[in-house]
Amino acid sequence: MTLVKAYAAQKADKALEPYQLTRREPGADDVEIKILYCGVCHSDIHTARNEWGGTMYPVVPGHEVVGKVSRVGANVSRFKVGDTVGVGCFVDSCGHCNNCKDHQEQYCENGHSQTYNSFEQDKKTITYGGYSTHIVVTQGFVLNISDKLPLEKVAPLLCAGITTYSPLKYWGVKKGDKLAVVGLGGLGHMAVKIASSMGAEVTMLSRSPGKAKDAEELGAHHFALTTDKEKMKELANTFDFIIDTVSAEHDYNEYLALLGTNGVMVLLGVPPTPSDVQAFHLIMGRRSLVGSLVGGIKETQEMLDYCAEHNITSDVEMIRMDQINEAYERTLKGDVHYRFVIDMASID
């Protein structure tokens, strides 16, 4: 057992504070990672505040982890001390169900082990995330990170990057496709970057005119105000894909109407209450409303390699560990371009 420094929420209504965490000694198949950077995902806030229910306190959030290998177990051959590596949203899965065999560990039929507020595969040891100096992860769930890109900007790829890359790949987004992105936050800004790198013609849909310039700088080709009724009429039946990253309550029907024949709207955000969908919007034009959850380990590695090759990173704002509570408040207000990343060297 190793004691490491961390930050934890002790209760739903309490700020995060310093916490001493026990990590297991690396077993034969384990990689111990000294964490350099950890991104701040909206899910961290939902979990710290028990907004989805089921939070086990104390909780140490963080699932956008980049660091250096500090120790390896006897069976580990793919990694050595000093390698740059990453950990994303989950740290283990059953390994033998149909989805695991198909490299879709995120849909493990026996329940995958999320990086925090979850259980290891023994189904009793609680997992703790990346707001800490070290993490120990079984080698099959550790990702190789290229040193080509600035590592603090790579960290958010481990959740925001794969969450947007996976559906774009699965539904085969390609050159010339007309694609709209709803919501310009951590996920939305990655969707714009990755979709445009794949050759899609990207439109940013937003309620705030102030986002137009930002969207363009990120690589969006067009910007449309969803409050502009005339513009929305003009855009009806035009998109092949809509990537909806919004986790606040909103009307799906408004966006479904913008899809062309066989158009696909992908949900990545989880609004707090169920939504009404007009069946007509799906029937007319054989449209699909679908969802997607991060991506498997193999695909996450593919995404990291793709981003290294195409020079794609997240736009980040660095914070010290003790600024995390302020960062949560600013994230909730959308006051971040576009991801906070914790410099783990600042923890004490």
Contact indicator for 320, 341 with CB cutoff of 8 Å: no
> Toward Zn ion, which CB reaches closer, 235 or 294?
294
CA separation for the pair 160, 8 (Å, rounded)? 22
Q: Is residue 225 involved in binding Zn ion (CB under 5 A)?
A: no
In angstroms, the Cα distances linking 176 to 189, 208, 238, 240, 302 are: 19, 26, 13, 10, 22
Given 56, 97, 270, 284, the residue binding Zn ion (CB under 5 A): 97
Closest approach, Cβ 212 to Zn ion, in A, equals 26
Please give the biggest Cα pair distance in the chain. 64
Of residues 30 through 59, those in contact with Zn ion by CB under 5 A are 41, 43
Nearer to Zn ion, 58 or 130 (CB): 130
Q: In terms of Cα–Cα distance, which of 153, 164, 158 is closest to 188?
A: 164
Nearer to Zn ion, 87 or 259 (CB): 87
Residue with tokens 């969802």, as numbered in its chain:
291
**Smallest distance from the beta carbon of 109 to Zn ion, in angstroms?**
5
Question: Applying CB under 5 A, which of residues 9, 87, 100, 195 lies at the interface with Zn ion?
Answer: 100
Whether the CB-CB separation of 113 and 93 falls below 8 Å is answered with: yes
Contact between 342 and 322 under an 8 Å Cβ cutoff? The reply is: no
CA atoms within 13 A on the CB side of 157: 32
Residues 140-179 as x/- pattern, contact with Zn ion by CB under 5 A: -------------------x--------------------
CB of 113 to Zn ion, least distance (A): 10
- Closest distance of CB 238 from Zn ion, Å: 30
Closest distance of CB 178 from Zn ion, Å:
27
Binding site for Zn ion (CB under 5 A): 41, 43, 93-94, 97, 100, 108, 110, 159
